[in-house]
Structure 1
Amino acid sequence: MEFIDLKSQYKASRDLINSRIQAVLDHGQYIMGPEVAELEQRLADYTGARHCVTVSSGTEALVIALMALGVGPGHEVITTPFSFIATAEAVLLVGARPVFVDVERETCNIDPRLIEEKITPATRAIISVSLYGQPADMDAINQVAARHSLAVIEDGAQSFGATYRGRQSGDLSTIGCTSFFPSKPLGCYGDGGALFTSDDALATAMREIRVHGQSRRYVHTRLGVGGRMDTLQCAIVLAKLERFAWEIKQRRRVAAAYDEMLHPHVPVMACQADRTSVYAQYTVLVEERDRVRAVLDTAGIPTAVHYPVPIHQQPAYAHLAAGECYPVSEDMAARVLSLPMGPYLSATEAQQVANTLLRAVGLRQAGEVEAEAMSK
């Protein structure tokens, strides 16, 4: 069993992916070829944002977003300690300081109720993270930001294709960022990412920053980076877009089956009523996680932990939150466990995962969970 089955995904779209790659090989425009502009238009249309700017990775998207907003030394950016390290890393890379706010227990996303107390005169932006494929409570976050004239960046590396109150992830704030890392719901075969905004000036800044601050060839109007997404990776994402809606539907089918088989015996990261998830991960909460993982591993079931050590407890970041604790993040880090998830996970495999997990936590014997949930 695969934790994320990229091989089956490729087989399902082999001809289209291969033809898209071949087209790039034929025209030879490996940097900023026509597929780059085509993908940016498709993604902008998909999200509803006026602009999409493809970049070399999800991390680079965050860095470029902060640079476009003018965030730098002496500034603070409020974010979550329960995320992949890139969220806070990007803030430090531009010379600013990340300030952490604890997460909601129900979603593991930043708790909007705790943001305002961390705002200071040095605060310039808020980075929310749409963890596990579900957007944060963006309206509440945007409202806090508006009261203090702050920008909001959505770190949607795990949530492209999800919605919040009928709006697409990526078009929920000042700037949206996403990643096309291969394991993401919409991934390429290397690194890639994108930025979204409906602010024309920010879009211009982000386009210039990704090519070394260049407004036109050899004219550099601002500090920039080498942050372009290459044409081959854009071509792969274009091919995968053709099945993306179907794959999201299948991910939600698998998640619904897991919900039915595991609830109420094992706590899960529930999707809130006002949003949808693309289930970049299907995450449960368990006690004695190492023991539970060992049982699953013995049964041939791969698992992952996203994330075992909160950012504020990482050696390179601990000085940023000296003396502070974030109890929900710390509790979640000790208990979260991600199960196999993807559009190509079969009903039999999902049943095996659920049965084994329930046996591991001591609630049922293998075979007691019915497979019929997968057919609903």
Structure 2
Amino acid sequence: MNIPLIDLKAQYKSISEDLDRVTKEVLSSANYIMGKNVTEFEMEFAEYIGVKHAISVGNGTDALVIALKSLGIGNGDEVITSTFTYFASAEAISAVGATPVFVDVEKETFNIDPTKIEEKITDKTKAIIPVHIFGQCAKMDEINEIAKKHNLKIVEDAAQASGAKYKGKRAGTLGDAACFSFFPTKNLSCAGDGGIIVTNDDGIATIARALRTHGSGENGQKAYNLLNNIKEEIETSKEGDDTVYNPLKYYNYLIGYNSRLDAIQAAILKVKLPYLDKWNAGRRRIAKIYDEKFKDSNVVTPIIAEENETIYHQYVLQCDDRDAMLVKLKEKGVATGVYYPVPLHLQKVYKDLGYKEGDMPIAEYLSHRTFAIPVYPELTEEEINYIVESIQA
């Protein structure tokens, strides 16, 4: 038996009729950039999360970059984040000219350890990016308390947490802004790259909308006026559209980016969003089976904090001899993934920051022990049992 880490074909088959229909509708409309599908998806996603604004962008990394820029973070600033996460969490900080400051994680949840944040704060610190790793929210009450005390902004990296909850509130409502990814392997995914920024802050939303399209047009003027405390009537135009011609896009007010969610991706995401809670529940159901089956085995199962409703973007196990386990599972046809083999503070690109091995012992410990197994909701009972038996063999 061969079982992939995630089966994108299985998800496609379950809703193929609707996906094919909306894809053809977009193609035949010839409206490929911005437009109705993008606007409607942004509204639907904002309503789902429970926020005022959702600003779609080209990918999750751009979402982080634009969110940080919208908060005024740049050269000379420092931003605190987890060392046990995907590179984009730190890369975005570097991309705006700031310096990432890494913090170790909790051994149980793999999330940033709030008790180790405050010691990293300096007069250059401007924000914290907590990462809701593997679909479980970080300890946001503690993190928000620290941020309030030191007048810091919070940008949730919720790339892996679409639909997750913390104390009944959805990921994305727990800071000043939050960023999601719709990469094909995510719980809510499109057929390529995609991302979104969510916020309740009108100012952040205005600047983010401007930055995603070269700082131009109506949103660019609004953002420029906001940043410079100018009060004047904003020029608008009803001529043309963004696909063919919009005269306002040739009036630029900020240095921005070219980062838009394609209309075809928005249409796909509109189809998938109503299924998200059901799919996440399916992952929790499978995780519960794994938890029970692996109780008395040689692997350590994930620990979910009582206040969290995780979405199991990944189901991550630990074992003493990970390499041997991975070889065994590969031989049996069970795909696995290692998240993450090198903590960010030890990546070569950040060598100049002066971190060394031993600085973040928990993340370093986990980097040698953790591996993910399939947990996508389309897994059959036979496949689940085969995965369990393969690990226990």
Q: TM-score range by the shorter chain?
A: over 0.9
TM-score normalised by length of structure 2: 0.90
Q: 1:263 pairs with 270, 295, 300, which one?
A: 295
Superposed counterparts of 1:1-376, under 5 Å:
1-216=3-218, 217=248, 218-265=250-297, 266-323=299-356, 325-359=359-393
Q: Is the 8 A contact 2:132 2:160 kept in 1?
A: yes
Rounded Cα–Cα distance in structure 1 between residues aligned with 2:129 and 2:351 = 19
Q: In the superposition, relative to structure 1, how do residues 321 and 128 fare at CA in structure 2: closer, same or farther (>3 Å)?
A: farther
Rounded Cα–Cα distance in structure 2 between residues aligned with 1:264 and 1:56 = 44
Per-residue deviation, residues 157-188 of structure 1 (Å, max 9, x unmatched)? 10111100001111111111010000000000
Q: Match for 1:222: what amino acid?
A: L
- SS of structure 1 residue aligned to 2:349: coil
Rounded Cα–Cα distance in structure 2 between residues aligned with 1:50 and 1:135 = 21
Q: Is the 8 A contact 2:346 2:355 kept in 1?
A: no
Rounded Cα–Cα distance in structure 2 between residues aligned with 1:9 and 1:50 = 30
Q: Is the 8 A contact 2:58 2:261 kept in 1?
A: yes
Per-residue deviation, residues 139-170 of structure 1 (Å, max 9, x unmatched)? 11111001011000110110111100001111
Rounded Cα–Cα distance in structure 1 between residues aligned with 2:40 and 2:259 = 18
Q: Match for 1:291: what amino acid?
A: A
- SS of structure 2 residue aligned to 1:267: coil
Q: Match for 1:272: what amino acid?
A: A
Using the TM superposition, give the Cα deviation of residue 221 of structure 1 relative to its aligned residue in structure 2, in angstroms: 2.1
Using the TM superposition, give the Cα deviation of residue 254 of structure 1 relative to its aligned residue in structure 2, in angstroms: 0.6
Rounded Cα–Cα distance in structure 1 between residues aligned with 2:334 and 2:60 = 28
Rounded Cα–Cα distance in structure 2 between residues aligned with 1:6 and 1:56 = 20
Rounded Cα–Cα distance in structure 1 between residues aligned with 2:37 and 2:257 = 21
Please list every run of 5 or more consecutive structure 2 residues that lacks an aligned counterpart in the other structure: 219-247
Rounded Cα–Cα distance in structure 2 between residues aligned with 1:49 and 1:28 = 31
- SS of structure 2 residue aligned to 1:10: helix
Per-residue deviation, residues 78-128 of structure 1 (Å, max 9, x unmatched)? 001110001100111111000011001111110011111110000000001
Rounded Cα–Cα distance in structure 2 between residues aligned with 1:264 and 1:109 = 25
Rounded Cα–Cα distance in structure 2 between residues aligned with 1:268 and 1:277 = 14
Please list every run of 5 or more consecutive structure 1 residues that lacks an aligned counterpart in the other structure: 360-376
In the other structure, the counterpart of 1:369 is none
Using the TM superposition, give the Cα deviation of residue 264 of structure 1 relative to its aligned residue in structure 2, in angstroms: 4.2
Rounded Cα–Cα distance in structure 1 between residues aligned with 2:295 and 2:121 = 38
More off after superposition, 148-157 vs 220-229: 220-229
Rounded Cα–Cα distance in structure 1 between residues aligned with 2:303 and 2:33 = 41
Rounded Cα–Cα distance in structure 1 between residues aligned with 2:211 and 2:135 = 28
Using the TM superposition, give the Cα deviation of residue 243 of structure 1 relative to its aligned residue in structure 2, in angstroms: 1.8
- SS of structure 2 residue aligned to 1:316: helix
Q: In the superposition, relative to structure 1, how do residues 290 and 215 fare at CA in structure 2: closer, same or farther (>3 Å)?
A: same
- SS of structure 1 residue aligned to 2:137: coil
Identical positions, percent: 42
Rounded Cα–Cα distance in structure 2 between residues aligned with 1:26 and 1:67 = 36
Using the TM superposition, give the Cα deviation of residue 322 of structure 1 relative to its aligned residue in structure 2, in angstroms: 2.8
- SS of structure 1 residue aligned to 2:48: helix
Q: Match for 2:58: what amino acid?
A: S
Q: Is the 8 A contact 2:183 2:193 kept in 1?
A: yes
Per-residue deviation, residues 218-276 of structure 1 (Å, max 9, x unmatched)? 23222210111110111111111132221111111111111111124321221111011
Rounded Cα–Cα distance in structure 2 between residues aligned with 1:220 and 1:104 = 45
More off after superposition, 238-247 vs 43-52: 238-247
More off after superposition, 89-98 vs 264-273: 264-273
Rounded Cα–Cα distance in structure 2 between residues aligned with 1:110 and 1:162 = 17
Q: Match for 2:273: what amino acid?
A: L
- SS of structure 1 residue aligned to 2:317: strand
TM-score normalised by length of structure 1: 0.94
Q: Match for 1:156: what amino acid?
A: A
Per-residue deviation, residues 4-26 of structure 1 (Å, max 9, x unmatched)? 01101000000111111111112
- SS of structure 1 residue aligned to 2:308: coil
Q: Match for 2:282: what amino acid?
A: Q
- SS of structure 2 residue aligned to 1:226: coil
